[in-house]
C-alpha cells in the first residue's frame, strides 16, 4: 500500500471515483487508497463520501476491492503488534446480540489456556449491548488504558478487555458515523471492512468471529450472515491473520439476562462452574477455536473452566483495571414481573423484543453519548421449550426509573408465545455454521 504520508490531493477527483462505482466499475487500488486518505483528511466532502458509500451498497465490491478498502482504513492510523509478548495472541469479535456477554468469561478462559487475549471492545447502541458498558457496572473498573498498560496487563494477567485507542483505523470511525445517517449500514463489504480494519490493526495473531443471525442480530437471514462471515474470514486470511468464524443463533437471547450488571453476574456464575447451558456452550466453543487458531496444545477449555483457573484470571483482570471483584454489583431500584398468560410450553421468546425492552429500561443508549443504568435490564425465568404454568414469572424487568416500564412492556407485546402442546419445539443449536479460509 502506498505510503499515506505521500498523499496527493490532486491525484484523483472524488466525482470520478463516485461515477466509476455508480456505473458498476471496479475501483483501482490507487483510487481506493486516495479516497480513504482524502476523506480522512477532509479533502473529500461528507456528501461525496455519502454518494460513494451508497454506490458501494448498490453495486457491491469485489474481494480485491474489499481487501484494499480495508487496508486503506488500517493505513489511516496505527497498527499494533504484540509479537514481543512471548506467547501467542488471539481475539474474538461478535457482531452483536441480546444477552451476549460471552467476551466476559471467554477472555479469562482463553488466557487460562495459555493464549494472550488483547480484547478491544466497544459500547452498546440501540438494542445490542456493549462489553464496556457491562464491565463498567463493576465498581472502579476502567475501560481506557494506554498501550503500555495493555502490554503490561497482557504479560502479567494474560487478558485485557478495554476500549480501542483513537489512533486505530480512524477512517473507520468517520465512515461508521456517516453510514449510520445515510442508510448505508447494510452493505456487507462496508460492514466487513469496518470490523476487520480495527481487528487487523489491533495486531492479534488469530481472530475468531462470532457472526450472529436471527431476530436479535443485525443479520436476520442465514444467507446474509454466511456472506458476511465468509467475507471477513477472507479479509483476515488475506491480511495474514489466522481467522475462523462461527455463525451462531440470536433468535432467542443468550443466557437468562440482558442488561449490564445482570450480565456480569451471570458471567461470574459461568466462571464459577454454573450459568446457563447456552452461554457455557458458546464460551467453550469459541475458546476452543481461539486456542486452536493460536496453535496452542493443552487441556480442553471446558476442563480449564471447571478447574477454576479462568475465575482466577477474571479476578486479576478486573483488579488490574481498577475494579473490585468482591464488591456487590449494582441492582435496580424497581422491578416489574411479566407472567405467563396461560399454562403450556414457551414456544418463542424473541431476542429483539427483549433487547428493545432492556434498552428502554435504561440498559442501552439511543446516542453514543447517552448514559446507561448499570442495574437496568431483563431477567428471563424460562427459555423456549420450557413448560410454564399460568401466572408464573416469565420475565422480570429492572430499572431505576419506573416510568420506563410501560414502553418496555410495549416492546414485549407479541414477543413471546405460550403454546398448548405438551412438548416444546426442539431447541435450536447455538452454533449453526463454521467458516474457515
Residues forming the active site: 93, 172, 179, 194, 198
What Å distances lie between residue 179 and 95, 171, 194, 242, 374, CA to CA?
A: 16, 12, 11, 28, 29
* C-alpha grid cell, residue 229: 462471515
Q: How many Å apart are CA 71 and CA 234, to the nearest integer?
A: 13
Q: How many Å apart are CA 219 and CA 200, to the nearest integer?
A: 22
Amino acid at each position: 500500500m502506498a505510503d499515506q504520508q505521500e498523499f496527493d490531493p490532486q491525484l484523483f477527483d472524488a466525482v470520478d471515483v463516485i461515477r466509476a462505482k455508480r456505473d458498476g466499475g471496479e475501483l483501482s487500488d490507487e483510487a481506493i487508497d486516495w479516497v480513504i486518505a482524502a476523506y480522512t483528511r477532509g479533502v473529500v466532502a461528507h456528501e461525496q463520501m455519502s454518494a460513494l458509500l451508497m454506490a458501494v451498497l448498490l453495486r457491491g465490491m469485489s474481494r480485491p476491492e474489499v481487501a484494499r478498502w480495508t487496508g486503506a482504513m488500517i493505513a489511516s492510523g496505527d497498527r499494533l503488534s504484540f509479537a514481543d509478548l512471548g506467547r501467542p495472541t488471539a481475539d474474538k469479535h461478535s457482531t452483536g446480540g441480546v444477552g451476549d456477554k460471552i467476551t466476559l468469561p471467554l477472555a479469562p478462559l482463553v488466557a487460562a489456556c495459555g493464549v494472550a487475549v488483547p480484547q478491544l471492545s466497544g459500547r452498546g447502541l440501540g438494542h445490542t449491548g456493549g462489553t464496556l458498558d457491562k464491565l463498567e457496572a463493576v465498581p472502579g473498573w476502567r475501560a481506557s488504558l494506554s498501550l503500555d498498560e495493555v502490554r503490561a496487563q497482557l504479560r502479567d494477567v494474560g487478558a485485557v478487555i478495554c476500549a480501542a485507542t483513537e489512533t486505530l483505523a480512524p477512517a473507520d470511525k468517520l465512515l461508521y458515523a456517516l453510514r449510520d445517517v445515510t442508510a448505508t449500514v447494510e452493505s456487507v463489504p462496508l460492514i466487513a471492512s469496518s470490523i476487520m480494519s480495527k481487528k487487523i490493526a489491533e495486531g492479534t495473531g488469530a481472530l475468531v468471529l462470532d457472526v450472529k443471525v436471527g431476530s436479535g442480530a443485525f443479520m436476520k437471514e442465514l444467507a446474509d450472515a454466511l456472506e458476511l462471515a465468509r467475507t471477513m474470514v477472507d479479509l483476515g486470511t488475506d491480511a495474514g491473520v489466522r481467522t475462523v468464524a462461527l455463525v451462531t443463533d440470536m433468535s432467542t437471547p443468550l443466557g437468562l439476562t440482558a442488561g449490564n450488571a445482570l450480565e456480569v453476574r451471570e458471567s461470574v456464575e459461568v466462571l464459577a462452574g454454573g450459568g446457563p447451558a447456552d452461554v457455557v456452550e458458546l464460551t467453550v466453543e469459541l475458546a476452543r477455536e481461539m486456542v486452536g487458531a493460536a496453535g496452542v496444545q493443552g487441556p480442553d477449555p471446558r476442563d480449564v473452566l471447571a478447574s477454576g483457573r479462568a475465575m482466577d484470571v477474571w479476578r486479576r483482570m478486573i483488579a488490574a483495571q481498577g475494579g473490585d471483584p468482591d464488591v456487590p454489583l449494582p441492582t435496580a431500584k424497581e422491578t416489574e414481573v411479566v407472567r405467563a398468560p396461560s399454562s403450556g410450553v414457551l414456544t418463542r421468546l424473541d431476542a429483539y423484543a427483549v433487547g428493545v425492552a432492556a434498552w428502554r429500561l435504561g440498559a442501552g443508549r439511543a446516542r453514543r453519548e447517552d448514559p446507561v443504568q448499570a442495574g437496568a435490564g431483563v431477567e428471563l425465568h424460562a427459555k423456549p421449550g420450557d413448560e410454564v404454568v399460568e401466572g408464573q414469572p416469565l420475565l422480570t424487568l429492572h430499572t431505576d426509573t419506573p416510568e420506563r416500564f410501560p414502553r418496555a412492556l410495549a416492546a414485549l407485546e407479541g414477543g413471546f408465545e405460550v403454546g398448548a402442546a405438551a412438548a416444546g419445539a426442539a431447541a435450536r443449536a447455538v452454533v449453526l455454521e463454521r467458516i474457515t479460509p
